[in-house]
Structure 1
């Protein structure tokens, strides 16, 4: 029987990057022919530039990218058009392609705007040294520029190099303070982060309070600053202050979440990915054992698992790479609930189409990880919904199920500053509790119905008994034990998640049982039962 609600049934609910991230978009020859005249006169070229800029100003990066793509050869190497293309790609969340366009722009002309794109995109990808290298080039062209300074400091702070970040920012902070001028917003934001990391909590809170009181501040900036204040208060031990700040932050742009509807959607997903229906779905011929996936709720130790594996000489992590979620969106866009599988998948009904997606993904993660990697882990946040699809794409994959006390998960998500649009349940603790319950339900379904191995890893066990749990994790991957996994925190790797400032330090246990600090605030919330040592 056909099943409706394709977007969630396929494991996705909202827009995401697509598999086209692997390759630049292509356009029809007729489009190129229609644009031939643009290369003939400067006025037509300038008109095109204005059109692209207008699309960007109107927050339409996809339309800007279309205008900047498939141009005649003379315009393909135009430095300004390449920069605008890079900017559109950056706003579309495609940093690798944005880097390629921005580098081409710089080769055509020493374009500082394109260099700023390169800093931001390398930073977004966790490429710390590349981002700093472009900061160096910008500094030579724009000595003393404060935008370069706060980008450099932000890159260093996210890499766990807090003292270096402070050394960059402090001269600018002192200069403005001594002159009686307000600290510019970019410097303020990065300086407040550094103050928190240096445990100067009272100074950080005072600065944050001053920032959120500024007029005409974007709501998303207020949201980020309030979440930072919650972090500062939490680490200071002012749990009431932390809760108050997080509550104010989560009120900004909060979307309604219906837990009962979500449960119905999970039921639809489980029904649609029953063993009987899955047997009729396409299956990839990709036999690679390299792809590994971490599934489960956010803030469940996924970043720690990623770091442990990445520390192994034959392991690597690609963070929250969303290419499989992108393929799920492409499936959803063609899914016909009135047809039986595999015909319901439209142009993706044949096995070879799934094989191509799988091999493209395998090629991309190998490229990112390097030739040494025999296992490459992806911890994208939506993986718990996609395990069935992952198993059909990669029959030899391994799945790691990260589990943590639902009370700690709910509080960490509530405090964390997630994207409300993608994860609306994070803005209320009671919603997070229901989402945890449904995540467990999905994962139990995958364990019962799939042939791929799934390993439960409890965060509490991982941090309290690393001598047992770390080797158990590595053994599951089919790799020999290596002592470097114990020293995962010594990596110079930048982790681009909310846990970036936690996984670059030695193992600690204080986050296990975090909910005890907030017992009064969550007293009326019903949580699912949980015992990691049962």
Structure 2
């Protein structure tokens, strides 16, 4: 059986019974994913030691449902049935990597590579895992080895372009994208990678193809691809200074994507923590007295990447990127996502021993990347939702709150290709309400938590980088080091959407950027007016 629904890999799924194979492909292609999962689970009950069925189930969760805990579980069952199956180890590695359980991912990846050292799929997935771990040299070497076995494999070539970009090799990324474009000009993933390598010019052949070939036939694309194509054109038009046109295209893209955000649920999540957690919950101390952890929290597009790069250029500070260490602890505790009442009960109910245990688990995970660093920066921005628990774990840890002008921040979120998890960015009014909930929660933490917190404003960072950086380093109780001002040449790569910008001299043109799109922003202004007591004129 060949499983091709994701477009990422082919040939890795072993033959299951013919009827199951045919039904599975039909169900996935028709969008009946839940039925496909049920089919494989029934087949597993009938054939509990069939490794191929378990691998198929792991693949389905890894690449279609994105239920990575279930993918890992299915892969691990397959490994027990067939310990020498490279495919089974590979599925476990891929799922563990998505969950940012990198020790487990590397363990199974190593086994898969030992069992199938020249298998192109194994090498391709190895590159993807190394990329997720910011091991860019290893990622490039693995995908190049995959291409040596299978030179024309499109997904591997796209992976190489992605890793070139992440490693800061923008010229290599753009050159490869143009080579691929000559053969497969309609590939929207290719256009997405290319668009993130820099600004688009009006005479760029890839832009012209989007405008003149893809846009006129856009109705022939799937709904998801229509939204992607419109967003790519919007980004190109914005690069060219056609800001009204760009914003109109972004709005078309959002409406076409048609995602829904449950703002009422998120409001309840925030309110439950604000209502339940008080300063009294932190009397008596507890937790670890370790000062190593530093969290950067805030909204996406708030200047956090610049802040992270400045900090991690200091010789005594290491970064772990957007670590899942804290959220994985919550997942291990079976805490439902965005259940404010359950999170508040957990926070208030932690004993001193519980807090110390959680703290040690967190430290063990983040110290793997930098065991000797005096400070370790974790830039998973939405950890702002978990600061109540974090303060119980690390009363001497530090919080850096990345802040930006609310209008600029929200407009930038709206105009970026954030994942579907950020569903609040799909509508200006939803986005404004979400920002208000986020701000309410951060104001609450500033009032009730005993942990040291510092607001870092993007506008201050770009206006006075050295002065602001010196203040932050002092907040972290470290001595100043001039390397903090040489972050553009740092080998510590940024992986976020800001990767191209952070390689440039301090990026000042984003301040008051929202005014370019003023005519389109009334729904957002209505929600954010409270932050501008003197008006938005």
Q: Give how far 1:137 is off.
A: 1.6
Report the equivalent of 2:354: 353
Report the equivalent of 1:305: 307
How far apart, CA to CA, are the structure 2 residues paired with 1:340 and 1:279? 21
Report the equivalent of 1:490: 489
Report the equivalent of 1:434: 433
Q: Note if contact 2:196-2:497 (Cα within 8 Å) is conserved in structure 1.
A: no
How far apart, CA to CA, are the structure 1 residues paired with 2:132 and 2:219? 28
Instruction: Establish whether residue 56 from structure 1 lines up as the match of residue 59 from structure 2.
Output: yes
Give runs of aligned pairs for residues 171-210 of structure 1, distance below 5 A: 171-174=179-182, 176=183, 182=185, 187-194=190-197, 196-197=198-199, 199=201, 202-209=204-211, 210=213
How far apart, CA to CA, are the structure 1 residues paired with 2:282 and 2:292? 23
Which of 230, 233, 249 is equivalent to 1:229? 233
Instruction: Establish whether residue 318 from structure 1 lines up as the match of residue 289 from structure 2.
Output: no
Instruction: Establish whether residue 115 from structure 1 lines up as the match of residue 116 from structure 2.
Output: no
Give runs of aligned pairs for residues 56-205 of structure 1, distance below 5 A: 56-57=59-60, 59=65, 62-69=69-76, 75-90=82-97, 94=101, 97-110=104-117, 111-174=119-182, 176=183, 182=185, 187-194=190-197, 196-197=198-199, 199=201, 202-205=204-207
The runs of 5 or more residues in structure 1 that have no matched partner are: 1-43
Q: Note if contact 1:321-1:378 (Cα within 8 Å) is conserved in structure 2.
A: yes
Moved more, 213-222 or 406-415: 213-222
Moved more, 458-467 or 48-57: 48-57
How far apart, CA to CA, are the structure 2 residues paired with 1:61 and 1:442? 29
Q: Note if contact 1:462-1:469 (Cα within 8 Å) is conserved in structure 2.
A: yes
How far apart, CA to CA, are the structure 2 residues paired with 1:383 and 1:340? 16
Q: Note if contact 1:159-1:493 (Cα within 8 Å) is conserved in structure 2.
A: no
Higher relative contact order (CA 8 A, sep 6+): 1
The count of residues paired between Structure 1 and Structure 2 equals 477
Tell me, what secondary structure is at the counterpart of 1:76?
Answer: coil
Q: Note if contact 1:296-1:401 (Cα within 8 Å) is conserved in structure 2.
A: yes
Tell me, what secondary structure is at the counterpart of 1:267?
Answer: helix
How far apart, CA to CA, are the structure 2 residues paired with 1:258 and 1:334? 15
Moved more, 113-122 or 271-280: 271-280
Q: Give how far 1:172 is off.
A: 3.9
How far apart, CA to CA, are the structure 2 residues paired with 1:221 and 1:160? 27
How far apart, CA to CA, are the structure 1 residues paired with 2:510 and 2:90? 43
Name the CA shift for 1:252/1:93 in 2 (closer, same or farther; >3 Å).
Answer: farther
Q: Give how far 1:156 is off.
A: 0.8
Name the CA shift for 1:125/1:72 in 2 (closer, same or farther; >3 Å).
Answer: closer
How far apart, CA to CA, are the structure 1 residues paired with 2:488 and 2:533? 28
Tell me, what secondary structure is at the counterpart of 1:243?
Answer: helix
Report the equivalent of 1:248: 252
Q: Give how far 1:55 is off.
A: 4.8
Report the equivalent of 1:468: 467
Q: Give how far 1:101 is off.
A: 1.5
How far apart, CA to CA, are the structure 1 residues paired with 2:467 and 2:375? 21
Report the equivalent of 1:27: none
Q: Give how far 1:489 is off.
A: 1.4
Q: Give how far 1:65 is off.
A: 2.9
How far apart, CA to CA, are the structure 1 residues paired with 2:304 and 2:343? 33
Name the CA shift for 1:147/1:215 in 2 (closer, same or farther; >3 Å).
Answer: farther
Q: Note if contact 1:223-1:417 (Cα within 8 Å) is conserved in structure 2.
A: no
Instruction: Establish whether residue 398 from structure 1 lines up as the match of residue 398 from structure 2.
Output: yes
Q: Deviations over 1:359-383 (max 9, x none)?
A: 1211221211353x21111121222
Tell me, what secondary structure is at the counterpart of 2:502?
Answer: coil
Q: Give how far 1:243 is off.
A: 0.7
Q: Deviations over 1:396-432 (max 9, x none)?
A: 1011111111110110010012233x33221222322
How far apart, CA to CA, are the structure 2 residues paired with 1:357 and 1:267? 25
Q: Note if contact 2:323-2:379 (Cα within 8 Å) is conserved in structure 1.
A: yes
When normalised by structure 1's length, the TM-score is 0.79
The runs of 5 or more residues in structure 2 that have no matched partner are: 1-46
Report the equivalent of 1:14: none
Name the CA shift for 1:81/1:436 in 2 (closer, same or farther; >3 Å).
Answer: closer
Q: Give how far 1:474 is off.
A: 1.1
Q: Note if contact 2:310-2:485 (Cα within 8 Å) is conserved in structure 1.
A: yes
Q: Note if contact 2:126-2:139 (Cα within 8 Å) is conserved in structure 1.
A: yes
How far apart, CA to CA, are the structure 2 residues paired with 1:519 and 1:185? 30
How far apart, CA to CA, are the structure 2 residues paired with 1:182 and 1:303? 32
Name the CA shift for 1:334/1:165 in 2 (closer, same or farther; >3 Å).
Answer: closer
